[in-house]
Chain A
């Protein structure tokens, strides 16, 4: 009995496979060399990272000579005040920048998808996404010069400059997933809300916003990661003693290199992976 039904299942699946194959007459997977090229690319991408992670557990002081397994560099990093401070600073900046840029991006996304198409809309898309297109170094230098002037006028030298700069370049990263979500959302839902006596504000609060949340959270996390990772603009905008984790690590590389740097990088990598994975799952959960 069991065998017979298993055979039937196989037969059905086999049939489905055959159908699938006859329908798709071109498959990149069946091209010669595909597997080798793919493997080579993955190798190139992940081997260095894997090496970095492996050596973060090195018992010895070298980043190239393996001397056995140990957590010592993680402990060292944890006890290094400079690292703790830089990390805290990074998280503060990333949190502020992510929240402010996501709010701005949400409003921008609504303004570019929930209005009648108007003249210059494409220009506005370009305008919002400008940080993706202008080379970061150019933006960084522009901010350096501009903020230098502001510093002279106001005398203020706090973290706000970094937060403002990060907010600015985070906006497009927050904007894109939110806009994608809005564009995929069925407009008749908002129409139905209006039909059922919801004022525009109530329709937004009770229908648009709840359905937009996954997009907003995704935008928030993407902005957070982008801010956390930034080196170029931060390096140019920061004042003395305002190192973030990435700029601190860059500074360390110029001095003695120990597996401590591997340890920090690994933790950093882990945080990024966790956030990006969350982002992926949220984005996949479509209605």
Chain B
């Protein structure tokens, strides 16, 4: 087991070769397919993917609402996969909050401690502490039906944090909130994680949410984890087409490898010109490959240089903070460039003009497939 040493944090959750099959025979659905992932202590870890990718199933297995068909789930080294949920020091914030409607806010928050058999004064003190943490002191004796969605969200968080779980699981907890509240709660969640020092496992399909909050992200699709990395890794160095496509806007370009030099490869693009592209760990590029370039990592120029891709400006879309330029490359594919709008920006680009696309340094990344 990989442990402490060399400044590496301890692992809180280790998922080892976990598969989950629902149904049997011909109707069997493989919701999780041999998943391995290690979540470190005190980490804000996000499981990101479209609906049906298995992220919620994985969360349910960690919570104990379901049991894996194969594999182990370790909590600080101990296999918890066969334990029922009430024997796991892991708490969940549910998507619909699942607050007990027949109890007050304080009773909801104290429920876990009460079930653990803590003495009353301790429960009362901890409830007060949690109410303060989520800034809800004045709503202590309200019924949960008498408070707003955002407040319910805070109560759900306080309730799950009150018993000091080793790991907190969050199942798309922000999806029911409106835009403004969601932004506030993102910051709030980050603060709570920082203040409590508890490992958070967060499930979402919202890539922006994942990028802004996480220490690390695991991108999932069809029951598999495709890539694990920091938000910057995932965004700047996607390993697979699915990852690149799911997170942010992306340009794909075809090319041929001409040279490999450590973590860089030179690619002769089908669209003309050559670029230097980064290589993800474990990828050995050769022959025909696809590279990705983020729209903001390329520039549109009116007088293209030698390495620029040539094309025609097809469309200009104004977004307020930035502008998107849609270029049809001479070789066929479309390329989107995003440029931040500055005050007094140039207006000389017109639809139909011949333009060049310059790919920035370190902007291109070779994909696995």
Contacts and interface: CB of A to CB of B under 8 A. Distances in A.
Interface of A: 186, 188-189, 191-199, 202-203, 206-207, 210-211, 287
Contact of A196 (B96, B145, B159): B159
A9 B65 CA distance: 51
12 contacts: A189-B98, A191-B65, A192-B92, A192-B94, A192-B98, A194-B65, A194-B84, A195-B85, A195-B160, A196-B112, A211-B101, A287-B102
B28 interface: no
A207 B92 CA distance: 17
Main secondary structure of the interface of A (DSSP, over half): helix
A75 B296 CA distance: 93
Nearest to B87: A197
Given A197-B112, A197-B116, A192 B100 contact: yes
Task: In the A-B complex, list the 10 residue pairs whose CB atoms are closest, starting with the nearest.
Answer: A196-B112, A192-B98, A197-B115, A188-B98, A194-B85, A287-B101, A198-B115, A195-B92, A210-B102, A197-B86
Contacts of A196: 86, 91, 111-112, 115, 159-160, 163
A186 B86 contact: no
Nearest to A194: B85
A285 to B, nearest CB: 11
Contacts of A189: 98, 100-101
Given A194-B86, A196-B91, A196-B163, A186 B115 contact: no
Interface of B: 63-65, 84-87, 90-92, 94, 96, 98-102, 111-112, 115-116, 145, 159-160, 163
A27 to B, nearest CB: 33
Contacts of B102: 210-211, 287
B91 A195 contact: yes
A104 to B, nearest CB: 25
Contacts of A197: 86-87, 112, 115-116, 163
Contact of A195 (B86, B96, B99, B145): B86
A196 B85 CA distance: 8
A199 B94 CA distance: 19
Contacts of B100: 189, 192-193, 207
B249 to A, nearest CB: 35
A195 B63 contact: yes
A260 B160 CA distance: 64
A203 B92 CA distance: 16
Contacts of B116: 197
A40 B160 CA distance: 59
Given A192-B92, A193-B111, A199 B86 contact: yes
A205 B163 CA distance: 20
Contacts of B64: 194-195
Nearest to A197: B115
A130 to B, nearest CB: 32
Nearest to B60: A191
A207 B145 CA distance: 16
A191 B94 CA distance: 10
Contacts of B96: 186, 188
Nearest to B92: A195
